[in-house]
Chain A
């Protein structure tokens, strides 16, 4: 047998693979988990008022979460996806958006939906299962998406619509989680937006878990941000527990998108402190306390609270009072939601088509008779 001659090779796949995530090695951060300012220049962009506003919004979101969980335990709500831990990612991003912008939220994005113009009562009605709550009037928000990924293709369409309308200073934006980046629609949506160079801003809130499936099971890619590269879309990773970094990245992304440069994708690194939903999920089945604790230590409220307290712009007393005010307002919103009559089947029949079809007309007559009794 002849000695095997070593063949020359042309490609170093190991090298290609190991360098793919190189642009994403250092997530953007302005304030670290010890409340240390790690980027003074960027920090100096923010006025005291802005810092206080960010803190208020995060306190508001956390209070909303706590009160919502209370309502949930009392059996006064339906489906709710807890947001605790994601306040910087959600409030930082929404704060950089304009009311001109078209929002496609997913089900964990009620806080952004409300900040964008929907009322808390409407959020509660959605959770309770009453479509009257989804009448946002002129607020440019779609209702929370349940089919993970669908919001991405819809966002691409709205972005193209904005471009065709010639609307300046307007983008379409949407959110999904780490699990959502595995969906076909995630790629189709970003790819369409890229193909049309449409003004879309895509957020991936990577909170580590898609119910019980960890981020590493979703993909062999080292980061989710790098997925955008294949679609020709610039992207960055951001410390999603640092509201200043999330705001800064979003603002710059939005400026870039509105300047006509096509879409941008942002991955925020965050954590879902609680369960997937208020209905029966128990994270202790799939993750450990050892994993959770470091994330709790990175809490976005802790670090901004410390910065503000040091600057004498904030006190625990002030925060407690705010929480109480917020929770009182949520209780009132819940009362209003509870005072809203449930929809009748007749109404649902009437809202299936603009002009009821003959079969639906017959059913309207049937249910009107039944429901007027």
Chain B
């Protein structure tokens, strides 16, 4: 098994689906000859041709609106929106159109579109390039939102997303692209679209996180283990829907939970997780639900972003609060 970076694992997954299904198409800004501004699609145009992997005019609503017409005519589009902040230009194509279409046709027409888009902070980008917009899109019925935290899940999830017959928003964490390597199997395998994963077992406190924050949580678990505090870490992987069964089982075991997100606290994924826990397993808790999230400002300017993004220290402090409760 080869060790691949997160970004190479995604490229590998895309290569797999392009090879498996001749109706799959990759398109967007700079994805063709240039292989994407991060090189996620590098080599794919050479391998599959300009008919399958191609550049579009620079217009996000056009890219995603076009995906709808392509899907209707029998294609399986995998459009890229270059940065998640640019989806602001295409909210109607996603939420007003794509996500509603199966429902509109009383279930009779499918909309197999996988929107890939990079997001997440910590790489000192220009404005609008790092925004965590999952708080928006997890509020859209008919749309799945998934985000991997590691190379293995990245490949398996992107394959599942493309093979699914409903629209999936596939969020790729910018900071993780080249900062971690992992064993990634060759060939075809899938990671289910609506299941969380216990990435580290523990008995004292559960930390629920996703994307880059999973790695922060794992750091905390490593550190606290030396003090005999056993932290269980759950990677949500799917932000919509949320796999509550996995979370509830863990909470029933540890009786304490911290919910972590890089996005702003307001109307967040973490709030949904916390309310699901409170509604269903509150009697299993012996401390209040802890939340770690970014402050409710606009995504910060680059110089101060690391002061803003919740990190391992913030998670550790909250875990200690609960342990000492």
Contact = CB atoms under 8 A, between A and B. Distances in A.
Contact of B61 (A137, A188, A359): A188
B66 A358 contact: no
Which residue of A104, A157, A188 has the most chain B CB atoms within 10 A of its CB atom? A157
Contact of B110 (A136, A154, A162, A354): A354
B66 A351 contact: no
B66 A192 contact: yes
Interface string A245-286: 000000000000000000000000000000000000000000
Interface in A61-106: 102, 104
B181 interface: no
A4 interface: no
Contact of A191 (B59, B107, B108): B59
Contact of B105 (A134, A191, A192): A134
A142 B106 contact: no
B96 interface: yes
Given A153-B65, A156-B69, A351-B106, A359 B142 contact: no
A111 interface: no
B180 to A, nearest CB: 29
A339 to B, nearest CB: 17
B305 interface: no
Interface string A24-47: 000000000000000000000000
A189 B59 CA distance: 10
A185 B74 CA distance: 23
A132 interface: yes
Interface stretch (A201-209, A293-301, A322-330, A342-350): A342-350
A195 B242 CA distance: 40
Interface string A100-128: 00101000000000000000000000000
B97 A154 contact: yes
Given A189-B65, A350-B107, A161 B166 contact: no
B72 A161 contact: yes
B70 interface: yes
Given A153-B61, A195-B56, A354-B165, A160 B142 contact: no
A143 B104 contact: yes
Nearest to A184: B61
A351 B107 contact: yes
A57 B147 CA distance: 53
B106 A352 contact: no
A161 B164 CA distance: 20
A337 interface: no
Which range contains the number of A residues in contact with the other chain? 35 or more
Contacts, number: 140
A219 interface: no
Contact of B106 (A150, A188, A347, A357): A347
Contact of A154 (B68, B102, B107, B166): B68
A63 to B, nearest CB: 28
A147 B72 contact: no
A358 B245 contact: yes
Contacts of A152: 65
B65 A156 contact: yes
Given A150-B96, A358-B241, A156 B102 contact: no
A343 B103 CA distance: 11
Nearest to A200: B69
B96 A172 contact: no
A161 B74 contact: yes
A128 to B, nearest CB: 13
A212 to B, nearest CB: 23
Contact of A348 (B61, B103, B105, B194): B103
B103 A192 contact: no
A135 to B, nearest CB: 5
A360 interface: yes
A179 B102 CA distance: 28
Contact of B62 (A142, A159, A192, A347): A192
B141 A352 contact: yes
Contacts of A155: 69
Contacts of B51: 164
Nearest to A354: B165
B69 A157 contact: yes
A191 B62 CA distance: 9
A343 B105 contact: no
A104 B73 CA distance: 13
Contacts of A343: 106
A182 to B, nearest CB: 14
Contacts of A136: 105
A185 B61 contact: yes
B67 interface: yes
Interface string B164-175: 111000000000
B137 interface: no
Contact of A354 (B57, B102, B241): B102
B93 interface: yes
B110 A189 contact: no
Contacts of A354: 102, 107, 110, 164-166
Contacts of B243: 358
Interface string B87-108: 0000011001100001111111
A345 B73 CA distance: 29
A136 B243 CA distance: 35
Given A153-B64, A161-B69, A358-B243, 4 more contacts: A136-B105, A154-B68, A154-B69, A354-B107
26 contacts: A102-B73, A134-B104, A147-B92, A150-B97, A153-B93, A154-B68, A154-B72, A156-B66, A157-B65, A158-B73, A161-B70, A161-B72, A161-B73, A172-B69, A185-B62, A189-B62, A189-B65, A191-B57, A192-B57, A195-B57, A343-B106, A347-B106, A354-B166, A358-B243, A358-B244, A359-B244
By Cβ-Cβ distance, the 7 closest A-B pairs, closest first, are A157-B69, A153-B65, A161-B73, A351-B107, A158-B69, A157-B66, A188-B62
